[in-house]
Amino acid sequence: MRMTRMTLLAAGAAVAAALSVMRRQRAKQRKRAEYAELRRRKQQERRERLQKAVELVLGPGPEKGRTLALSDRETVLLAQCKTTAKLHEALRSGEATVLEVMRACAKQGLLTCREDDGGTNCIVEETVAEAFQAAEHWDAQVRAARADGQLDALFDRLPLLGVPLSVKEMFVQKGTDQTCGVSKFLYWFERFTLPKGWPGCEARAAPLPGGAYAGSPVDGHCVALLRAAGAVPLFRGNVPQLLLLPESANAIYGVSSNGVDRSRGVGGSSGGDAGIVQCGGAVMGLGSDVGGSLRIPGLFCGLAAFKPTSRRVTFIEGGSLHSFKKYGTHTMIPPVPGPMANSVDCCERMMRAWCREARSLAPSMYE
């Protein structure tokens, strides 16, 4: 009798364990299906957004026969304005406008860095419409300053005026998503509660017409500082899953390749932005570094990039990065925002502008 009772208890425990395993497996299957649907939705939206960006860059005109091929004027602009110093020389002299440079960079980026048409797949999101509006604003500022004889004061006050910027996908930027290459974090600002105390946590962006995803309601700290210095975010670059690999590939956006040789990579984790700057889609890139995430892509793509001293630039980001604390990543060795560009001078300008704006917005943090 005793053996029978023990046998029944053991059998019951085995059945309970088997049922528990089955429930976990079913839960995993449901999660996989959910994430697969989120990826499908994101990929469809991405293709539609990039196609709209192409139409915006090309401007009005007959649909047939239009291509993203650069004009002679745009080719010259890209060659002349590869650095911030040369860009500002052209703006000061009137040889170029911010809108002209922005359109040339947008066209070059969409031509070489999209997923389709043999591109490098470095661009995951674009903000071309917003960038063109900002470019028109800065052109108006330049014209007014030239008329008043205040050009020097304007460029001193805005050291990154009109500079096309590529932003790493991990940074919070108004109107965009932030996944860090993880399917679970797709549509973060729609599916999760914003952390208490994070800017914009009480003013979530309303869905766009048609129910489209509105993205973050505000800029994160790093992007806001660069905007305040005059930089214009144009593209967002690809990253590896969880930002922890020296490559740029994930299940959401795919693999990014090098513009010089498609069989080679762009490094990581700031590789997407390095590829965009390398091809001329932006003059500067905003990345981050823990163990080489800026330096490795810089090496792979022939750019100047470095890791600033930890906490040299305040790193206040919300969104899915808060979830990293749960797994213990980016805690012992904190990530450091940093620049990448075609010259060391550009990186220096970006750091100087960054720190100056940070002091003006939060001086107590630097005393």
Catalytic residues: 168, 269, 293
Token pair in block for residue 286: 């905003």
Give 194's contacts (C-beta < 8 A, 6+ positions apart): 200, 201, 204, 318, 319
Asked whether the beta carbons of 235 and 126 are under 8 A apart, the reply is yes
Asked whether the beta carbons of 189 and 204 are under 8 A apart, the reply is yes
Burial 258-273 (b: 16+ CB within 10 A, else e): bbeeeeebbbbbbbbb
CA distance to 115, 175, 193, 194, 199, per residue, from 202 (Å): 35, 16, 10, 8, 8
Give CA–CA dist 309/314, Å, rounded.
11
Token pair in block for residue 12: 């019951």
- Measuring CA to CA, which residue among 172, 176, 171 is closest to residue 208? 176
- Give the DSSP letter string of 77-107: HHHHTSSHHHHHHHHHHTS--HHHHHHHHHH
- Which pairs count as long-range contacts for 157-161, CB under 8 Å and 24+ apart, including other chains? 158/229, 158/230, 159/84, 159/229, 159/230, 159/349, 159/352, 159/353, 159/356, 160/84, 160/226, 160/229, 160/230, 160/231, 160/284, 160/349, 160/350, 160/353, 161/88, 161/91, 161/98, 161/229, 161/230
- Measuring CA to CA, which residue among 168, 80, 164, 84 is closest to residue 349? 84
CA distance to 18, 118, 274, per residue, from 168 (Å): 44, 22, 9
